């Protein structure tokens, strides 16, 4: 058991460090090209911090651990939305651009709703699953989102150029490759050790995936948004979370289902309902007063909801 936990921690550390190198150097390269902070947050940072979820899900899908596939993404999205935005909003009230309120947050809600209809097979009436056709639909929406962000690049040019031009492109790309290697190795360790722990403790893959694995793979998002909050870079703090949640559903689940069709357990619907409610609540908080700001008390509500719901899941599992 001790060895399994050590391997899990080692895998998570590799995921975090790999994502850190990937984000830092990709962002440095993007800023050299004068790309805006919001666009960087929605794409490069969001993709880099979601890379652990991507690797874990591809490995889990290939190995047939279907509950881990859904638990990791849905659990990570809830962790991002409730826990990380809650922590970041307690550090400083998060004032964001108008497009985040009226476009990016609704897109993340659309992603969750689309996933709900696809996995419950409302269109076919068959047993719940995410097959390859569903995967193509999600990837299509992901490409549409990338096109939307591409249009944003021209509308919101970068206003901050840090001292990144001193770093050579060769060094940047070297660390990007090292980051990807760390992600791949760490992802395999996390999946295998999490499965061993679940088997040893006699708990379900769902509860392991939606708590330990989901929170662990979301640590890069947590670090990125907390640091951005301390630096008052609200667009990175919020854009990272919203962008990651969109990436997780459209791209990661889409790609996972292309690797192998995934059976869906309807018990995850409760977690999706939480994601719907949380995203709608975030939109409402940003909309109140027309300030486009997440106040500290609102962040506290998000954090409290996550802690209460997670405690409920753990106690329910222990009572079985």
The tens place of each residue's pLDDT in the chain, 320 residues long, gives: 788 888 888 988 887 787 778 767 777 777 677 766 666 666 676 677 777 888 889 888 988 888 999 999 999 999 999 999 999 999 998 887 776 667 888 999 999 999 999 999 876 555 688 999 999 999 999 999 988 877 766 665 554 444 445 677 788 888 878 887 887 788 778 877 877 887 787 788 888 888 888 887 787 778 778 877 887 877 778 888 888 899 999 999 999 999 999 999 988 999 999 999 999 999 888 877 667 888 899 999 999 999 999 999 888 877 76
- For position 85, what pLDDT does the model report? 94
- In 79-223 the beta strands, taken as DSSP E runs, fall at 94-95, 129-130
Give the number of other Cβ atoms within 10 Å of residue 177's Cβ.
12
Q: Are 231 and 89 in contact (CB under 8 A)?
A: no
Query: Residue 305 is encoded by which pair of tokens?
Result: 């909801």
**Domains of the chain and CATH, by start:** 2-319 (1.20.1420.30)
Pairing of strands 129-130, 262-263: antiparallel
Q: Pick the closest to residue 75 from 213, 264, 194, 257 (CA basis).
A: 213
| pTM of the predicted model as reported, rounded to 2 decimal places | 0.82
Residue 167 vs residues 12, 25, 177: alpha-carbon distances, Å? 28, 9, 16
Q: Are 61 and 197 in contact (CB under 8 A)?
A: no
Q: Are 68 and 56 in contact (CB under 8 A)?
A: yes
In angstroms and rounded to an integer, the radius of gyration of the C-alpha atoms of the chain is 19
- 137 CB-near residues (< 8 Å, 6+ apart): 114, 118, 254
Q: Are 78 and 271 in contact (CB under 8 A)?
A: yes
Q: What is the length of the chain?
A: 320
Q: Are 19 and 52 in contact (CB under 8 A)?
A: yes
Q: Pick the closest to residue 243 from 92, 11, 23 (CA basis).
A: 23
79 vs 257: CA distance, rounded Å: 22
187 vs 123: CA distance, rounded Å: 33
129 vs 58: CA distance, rounded Å: 16
């Amino acid at each position: 058991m001790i060895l399994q936990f050590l391997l899990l921690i080692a895998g998570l550390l590799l995921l975090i460090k790999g994502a850190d190198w990937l984000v830092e150097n990709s962002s440095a390269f993007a800023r050299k090209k004068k790309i805006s902070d919001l666009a960087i947050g929605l794409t490069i940072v969001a993709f880099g911090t979601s890379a652990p979820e991507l690797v874990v899900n591809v490995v889990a899908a290939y190995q047939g651990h279907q509950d881990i596939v859904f638990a990791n993404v849905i659990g990570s999205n809830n962790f991002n939305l409730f826990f990380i935005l809650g922590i970041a909003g307690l550090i400083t009230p998060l004032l964001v651009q108008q497009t985040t309120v009226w476009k990016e947050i609704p897109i993340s809600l659309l992603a969750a709703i689309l996933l709900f209809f696809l996995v419950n097979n409302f269109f076919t009436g068959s047993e719940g699953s995410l097959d390859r056709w569903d995967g193509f639909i999600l990837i299509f929406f992901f490409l549409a989102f990338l096109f939307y962000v591409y249009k944003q690049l021209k509308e919101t040019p970068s206003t901050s150029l840090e001292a990144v031009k001193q770093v050579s492109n060769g060094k940047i790309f070297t660390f990007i490759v090292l980051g990807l290697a760390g992600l791949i190795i760490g992802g395999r360790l996390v999946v295998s050790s999490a499965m061993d722990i679940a088997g040893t403790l006699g708990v379900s893959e769902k509860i392991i995936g939606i708590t330990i694995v989901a929170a662990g793979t979301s640590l890069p998002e947590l670090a990125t948004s907390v640091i951005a909050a301390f630096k008052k870079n609200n667009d990175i703090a919020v854009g990272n979370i919203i962008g990651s949640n969109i990436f997780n559903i459209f791209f990661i689940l889409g790609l996972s289902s292309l690797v192998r069709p995934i059976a869906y357990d309807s018990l995850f619907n409760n977690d999706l309902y939480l994601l719907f409610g949380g995203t709608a609540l975030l939109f409402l908080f940003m909309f109140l007063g027309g300030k486009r700001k997440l106040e500290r008390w609102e962040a506290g509500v998000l954090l409290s909801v996550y802690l209460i719901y997670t405690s409920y899941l753990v106690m329910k599992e222990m009572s079985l």
